Structure 1
């Protein structure tokens, strides 16, 4: 998966289209988006790492060992990436509306994994909601479900 992640990131940097991306481009795009959300507050804590890894394992049926080996590379890619549009394009092209809403829920769970929403994380979530064509209402409901999963108060 590490080699595929690097190849995918190179295709995005080169302006490659989703069809030029590796077979598991969706998994890679989701991994980088989740990593980006997890690290925006300046840290990548154990709770955030566990939430990201769990979502990737469950969604893409990848072993936890493989996720653990490649998660640091996804974090590095997310930190270096300025433009999210290549990732967003891949997600929009390969996920239906329900999948994009599920992704928003996973992203909300990641940003709240440490118990609070930081300003940069909130800004990213608003931006991603619009870019992924997820309505404010759907994003809000996804946020409530994520908070409930984490045992945090909705408010």
Structure 2
């Protein structure tokens, strides 16, 4: 995973002063957001557009960089045996506010297609627990993301 991250960010963000740890954080967050989008077996255009908007605004990246990040994150999701590798990176590198924003983004993607699937809700709940977001913040994020 680390080599893919280094290759992506070296080729896409050559002039960037961003550290590898921040790149790993971006990939981990993108992977967790994608987990919500794909868990119901329907990764539709509304979810993709919502994912793109969240990543571009959160990480201040170009559409091309976002597309590459999404492709890499989706590949990492397919190869991962659990969400632990992603949640561990989030725990090591994200503040409480960043974790809250991640959960809010996950809820936003879950609601994007107009149908909150039980598996989407499960993934958001599980990630919330694994990254130590309080239940009250979990609910607050859900309410803020609800359309």
Structure 1 length-normalised TM: 0.78
| Runs of 5+ consecutive residues of structure 1 not aligned to the other structure | 8-20
Instruction: State the Cα distance separating 1:79 from its structure 2 match.
Output: 3.0
Paired position in structure 1 for 2:16? none
Runs of 4+ deviating beyond 3 Å: none
Residue segments in structure 2 that go unaligned for 5+ positions in a row = 9-18
Change over 3 Å in CA distance of 1:6–1:78 after alignment to 2: farther
Q: Distance in 1 between matches of 2:6 and 2:111?
A: 26
- Higher relative contact order structure (alpha carbons within 8 Å, sequence separation ≥ 6): 2
Q: SS in structure 1 opposite 2:20?
A: coil
Residues 69 and 80 (structure 1 numbering): CA distance in 2 closer, same or farther, change over 3 Å?
A: same
Task: Map residues 1-150 of structure 1 onto 2, 5 A cutoff.
Answer: 3-4=4-5, 22-23=20-21, 24-147=23-146
Distance 1:6 1:77 in 2: 14
Secondary structure, in 3 states, of the residue corresponding to 1:34?
A: helix
* SS in structure 2 at match of 1:66: helix
After superposition, the C-alpha distances for 1:9-67 in whole angstroms (9 at most, x for unaligned) are xxxxxxxxxxxx93411001011111111111101111111111111111111101221
CA contact (8 A) 2:27 2:69 kept: no
Q: What is the TM-score normalised by the length of structure 2?
A: 0.82
Instruction: For residue 6 of structure 1, report the CA deviation from its aligned partner.
Output: 7.3
